[in-house]
Structure 1
Amino acid sequence: MELFSRPASVSYDDIKRQSPEEFRKEWEEWRRLREDYMKEPYGWLSLTSIDWLENGEPKTLDGFPGTWLQQGDAVIYTPPEDGGIVITNHDAPVSEPVRINVPEKGDFNLEDFYNGDVRAQLIKRIGVQHQFAIRIRDPHSAGIGQLQSIPSFEPDQRWVFPAKFEPAEQHEDVTVGAVAGELSHDETSIGILHVDFDGEKRDLIVFEVHNDDSGARRIDEATGEYVYLNNRANITNEGHVLFRDKTSGHESYGGARVIGFDNSDPASVSYVDFNRSMNLPCAFTVFCTCPFAPLQNTLPFAIEAGEKKPAVFGSLE
């Protein structure tokens, strides 16, 4: 998820020295980039469905030709027999069944298959009954046209607070809940953001940023075969904070909002700007599996800054 963080060179004092007009102008440019990102052809609003696989049961989808079959830790996609339909994967036509094997537990964005410009994305999540799902992305989705703007609180410099980032000596997984009830997420904790809320100090867990793209993998030197990497692979120099506050579930989205920052130079992190708090994708569409904020990141007061709760696109019925 793109977070549009300021450069690491920008300090708390730099922001506080801005005039209200300068601050608003910069925020409006950030908001424009954010809204453009949400409207990208294969962005979150392009999602039109999510279908979970049942182990051992073949599944066909209304929105994409072919058959999907989960066999334990693997999924086999079989293209349609109709020779007039061309399915591609990694820019090559798919004429035979494709087996995707992922024995590891975790959150993975695995493979993209295309039927014209419609994309079927195979994902794996941490679930009790369900692990693999197919999400359909359509660049002509009604959801993209539905979003005119993201409702937000008015920008105000008083919601910029001094903060220090303390990197963790060793990264560790933190299990959090998810909007899809039976699922959970293993978020990678990379440190603590110490925030001074006008004299009230809070320590917020910082997670590694997710990679939304599919197909992150490497060659296993022992076997010579591809091994898929989880969706935190290939992300560097950026952390994010999932948080809730007294506006959550009321003015703002209930699961969590997120703030990102450049941590390429941890010692230079000097602030957190809640005016740039963003909704998770699940605030916009029902076809996502977003995490909840950890309990430690639940604030006992209202953060009346950043994005408000938007209209939700789609239905799971």
Structure 2
Amino acid sequence: MTTEATTTDLEAFTEDWLDWQRAQEARLADPHGFLAITSLHFLDERPQRFPDAPGAWRTGPDGVVVALDEGEELVVDGTPVHGEHNFGVLPERGGVDAVWKDAVIEVAKRGGNDIVRPRHPDAPLRTAFTGTPAYDPDPRWAVTGRYVPFEQPRPTTVGAAVEGLEHVYDAPGRVEFELDGRPLSLTAFPGHGEGRLILLFTDATSGVTTYAANRVLALDPPAADGTVRLDFNRAANLPCAYTDLATCPLPPAENRLPVAVEAGQTLPRERGGS
């Protein structure tokens, strides 16, 4: 009876992980996802033209501006725009997706810089995508930890996948946990959604079987007593693991784990993985 229950639990655990992996890959391979990016441009006050986007682009105190030629059109928030259009001052890590024919022109702010990143569905990286390799899911990599909030959020500056770029996050606390009986901790950054957290980290597999620069683990909001679940089977690659056109943050120095986390997504085929 115990064996049957254990087998059933493992099958359910594996199926849940497969659902997560499929969702990760679908998001990545979206017609306008990160694999569809064809270029990355940093804007300044000089108007610039790009071969994979319409108009001339610049930025300044009033934000990002595009000057479209006659006959050119972008659709912004469902509204067609012509001539000169001001996107306004964008918040850090914010952005706008402007539709151009079958492409999306991402206008965003990263590391204090206004950028333009065209995304085309026929980008070779996207059309050649065959999925992401990963370790087989194993329940032993799903552990319970404890969230320890800081008295005040700590501004934390980290590097980026793009040389010379920096990101600043207000770290709300750290997560303490054990792997194979070894006490460890990771500084947490705000995640997507109220109370959610993300952990950017490297470990002893980084640069060997997993992407060298970073992986990310998303956490649900901690329970009232601080309990939080860390399932390293869901350690995911960031977009920079696939393309040099991503501005992903790097982990803070204290998030370099001294153990081999042989769980989650491994080095993408696009970077030589298998």
> Do residues 114 (structure 1) and 60 (structure 2) align?
no
Contact 1:48 / 1:138 at 8 angstroms: preserved in 2?
Answer: yes
Which residue of structure 2 lines up, in the alignment, with residue 35 of structure 1?
25
Pairwise CA distance, 1:189: 1.0
Which residue of structure 1 lines up, in the alignment, with residue 164 of structure 2?
182
Deviation per CA, 1:163-211: give whole Å up to 9, x if none: 112234432321101111110001231221111123221121111125x
- 1:16-55 aligned at under 5 Å gives the runs 19-53=9-43, 55=44
- 1:143-158 aligned at under 5 Å gives the runs 143-158=125-140
Structure 1-normalised TM-score? 0.77
Task: From 24, 44, 55, give the equivalent of 1:66.
Answer: 55
Which residue of structure 2 lines up, in the alignment, with residue 201 of structure 1?
183
Instruction: Indicate the SS of the match to 2:270.
Output: coil
Contact 2:203 / 2:257 at 8 angstroms: preserved in 1?
Answer: yes
Pairwise CA distance, 1:26: 2.1
> Do residues 91 (structure 1) and 78 (structure 2) align?
yes
Aligned partners of 2:97 and 2:230: how far apart in 1?
Answer: 36
Structure 2-normalised TM-score? 0.88
**Which 5+ residue runs of structure 2 have no aligned equivalent?**
1-5
Question: Looking at both structures, which has the greater relative contact order when contacts are Cα pairs under 8 Å and sequence separation is at least 6?
Answer: 1
Aligned partners of 1:268 and 1:165: how far apart in 2?
Answer: 5
Instruction: Indicate the SS of the match to 2:243.
Output: coil
Aligned length: 266
Aligned partners of 1:280 and 1:177: how far apart in 2?
Answer: 14
Pairwise CA distance, 1:133: 1.4
Deviation per CA, 1:4-46: give whole Å up to 9, x if none: xxxxxxxxxxxx9973333222222221222122222222212
Contact 1:263 / 1:269 at 8 angstroms: preserved in 2?
Answer: no
Instruction: Indicate the SS of the match to 1:20.
Output: helix
- 1:241-256 aligned at under 5 Å gives the runs 241-256=199-214
Pairwise CA distance, 1:70: 2.4
Deviation per CA, 1:133-183: give whole Å up to 9, x if none: 100112333323322121111111221223112234432321101111110
- 1:1-317 aligned at under 5 Å gives the runs 19-53=9-43, 55-72=44-61, 74-81=63-70, 83=71, 85-102=72-89, 107-126=92-111, 131-209=113-191, 235-263=193-221, 265-267=223-225, 269-312=227-270
Percentage of matched positions with identical amino acids: 31
**Given residue 206 of structure 1, which amino acid in structure 2 is its aligned partner?**
A
Instruction: Indicate the SS of the match to 2:177.
Output: strand
Pairwise CA distance, 1:73: 6.1
Over aligned residues, Cα RMSD in angstroms?
2.3
Aligned partners of 1:122 and 1:47: how far apart in 2?
Answer: 12
Contact 2:219 / 2:229 at 8 angstroms: preserved in 1?
Answer: no
Aligned partners of 1:97 and 1:133: how far apart in 2?
Answer: 17
Change in 2 beyond 3 A, CA 1:291/1:116: same
**Given residue 33 of structure 2, which amino acid in structure 1 is its aligned partner?**
G
